[in-house]
């Protein structure tokens, strides 16, 4: 009998691909915004892809979700109101709710089908959305943020800067976020790969500097994202130093540690030079 294998292949660029052998496709549909795929991979467990780009796998999502949330939240002594723009899988909300001070965690996802797929296929991430402190808004983040006020942290947990997400990388959006934050509030955005998207990182920093005094990049490995190495940008109106809570409040994590809170900001020389 002939050998048969099924693979999911993401063309991360037109010259770079990541292939994952899969056991089963669980869902494949066109939503009003994008193509949505859920599949069971051999290597990284269950996978969610949007327009062919991997958003989350069960085996490596913890790195991304912990680092996009705990690093900004632990800069503050008592974050109360936090919002996530994008991130419909719920993974970021799950991490945010680990902080005892948090009273409201808002998820602003444009595509209801992503949240529905997460509720059905990723309970490990989405069950956090049932917490009484979690509020789900099915809405365009760019519109939502215009009337949002008094947030401690706003997290831009977006897809790549194409299609519906392009506006999430624009200066005007960062200015809206600045208005939606408390004076000592913090913006964090995923900012793609330091190896593959250097122009975008520089453009995002320039955009954030139109609205914030301080912009600081940090890094973490995410195996299923292009190049396996990812960056985040943190912006605020004041110098960013970890809260003492970072060592006193014990939370359950698999990547983040109190030492990583600082080490993640130690950049490779090429990235240091790129961002200064």
Q: Is 184 a catalytic residue?
A: no
Say whether residue 16 binds a copy of itself (CB under 8 A). yes
Find, among 107, 104, 100, the residue nearest to 125 by Cα.
107
From the candidates 89, 152, 157, 160, give the one annotated as an active-site residue: 157
Task: Candidates 161, 171, 221, 242: give the one binding a copy of itself (CB under 8 A).
Answer: 221
Nearer to a copy of itself, 75 or 222 (CB): 222
Residue 140 CB partners (closer than 8 Å, separation 6+): 110, 164
SS3 56: strand
Footprint (CB under 8 A) of a copy of itself, residues 95-124:
none
From CA 231, how far away is CA 153, in angstroms rounded?
18
Say whether residue 247 binds a copy of itself (CB under 8 A). no
Question: Smallest gap, in angstroms, from Cβ of residue 108 to a copy of itself?
Answer: 29
Say whether residue 25 binds a copy of itself (CB under 8 A). no
> What DSSP state is assigned to residue 260?
H
Say whether residue 6 binds a copy of itself (CB under 8 A). no
Say whether residue 250 binds a copy of itself (CB under 8 A). no
> What DSSP state is assigned to residue 174?
H
Cβ burial 239-276 (10 Å sphere, 16+ → b, else e):
ebeebebbeeeeeebebbebebbeebbebeeebeebbe
Q: Which stretch binds a copy of itself (CB under 8 A): 84-92, 169-177, 199-207, 254-262?
A: 254-262
Find, among 188, 266, 224, 276, the residue nearest to 44 by Cα.
224
Say whether residue 180 binds a copy of itself (CB under 8 A). no
Mark residue 246 as left, alpha or beta (left: phi above 0; alpha: psi -120 to 50; beta: remaining). alpha
Task: Candidates 1, 3, 4, 14: give the one binding a copy of itself (CB under 8 A).
Answer: 14
Say whether residue 20 binds a copy of itself (CB under 8 A). yes
Question: Smallest gap, in angstroms, from Cβ of residue 226 to a copy of itself?
Answer: 8
From CA 110, how far away is CA 118, in angstroms rounded?
14
Task: Candidates 132, 183, 266, 276: give the one binding a copy of itself (CB under 8 A).
Answer: 266
What is the torsion angle, in degrees rounded to the nearest 10, for the CA atoms of residue 182, residue 89, residue 232 and residue 222?
160
SS3 130: helix
Question: Smallest gap, in angstroms, from Cβ of residue 275 to a copy of itself?
Answer: 13
Nearer to a copy of itself, 175 or 198 (CB): 198
Residue 177 CB partners (closer than 8 Å, separation 6+): 145, 154, 156, 187, 211
Query: What x-and-dash track marks residues 55-84 binding a copy of itself by CB under 8 A?
Result: ----xx--x---------------------
Task: Candidates 41, 56, 126, 176: give the one binding a copy of itself (CB under 8 A).
Answer: 41
Q: Please answer whether residues 251 and 61 qualify as being in contact, where contact means their C-beta atoms are separated by less than 8 angstroms.
A: no
What are the residue numbers of the active site? 157
Contacts to a copy of itself by CB under 8 A: 7, 9, 13-21, 41-43, 59-60, 63, 195-196, 219, 221, 223, 227-229, 253-257, 259-260, 262-263, 266-270, 272
């Amino acid at each position: 009998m002939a050998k048969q294998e099924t693979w999911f292949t993401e063309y991360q660029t037109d010259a770079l691909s990541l292939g994952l052998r899969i056991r089963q496709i669980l869902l494949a549909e066109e939503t009003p915004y994008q193509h949505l795929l859920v599949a069971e991979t051999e290597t990284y467990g269950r996978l969610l892809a949007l327009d062919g780009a991997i958003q989350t796998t069960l085996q490596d999502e913890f790195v991304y979700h912990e680092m996009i949330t705990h690093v900004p939240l632990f800069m503050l002594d008592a974050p109360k109101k936090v919002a996530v723009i994008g991130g419909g899988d719920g993974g970021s909300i799950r991490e945010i709710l680990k902080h005892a001070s948090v009273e409201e965690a808002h998820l602003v996802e444009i595509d209801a089908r992503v949240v529905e797929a997460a509720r059905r296929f990723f309970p490990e991430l989405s069950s956090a959305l049932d917490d009484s402190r979690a509020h789900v808004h099915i809405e365009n983040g760019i519109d939502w943020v215009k009337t949002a006020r008094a947030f401690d942290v706003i997290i831009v947990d977006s897809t790549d800067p194409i299609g519906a997400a392009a506006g999430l990388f624009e200066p005007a959006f960062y200015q809206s976020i600045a208005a939606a934050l408390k004076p000592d509030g913090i913006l964090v955005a995923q900012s793609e790969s330091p190896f593959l998207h250097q122009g975008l990182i520089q453009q995002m920093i320039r955009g954030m500097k139109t609205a914030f005094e301080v912009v600081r990049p940090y890094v973490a490995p995410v195996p299923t994202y292009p190049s396996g190495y990812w960056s985040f940008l943190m912006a605020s109106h004041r110098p960013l130093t970890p809260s003492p809570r970072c060592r006193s409040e014990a939370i359950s994590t698999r990547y983040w540690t109190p030492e990583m809170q600082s080490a993640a900001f130690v950049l490779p020389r090429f990235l240091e030079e790129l961002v200064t």
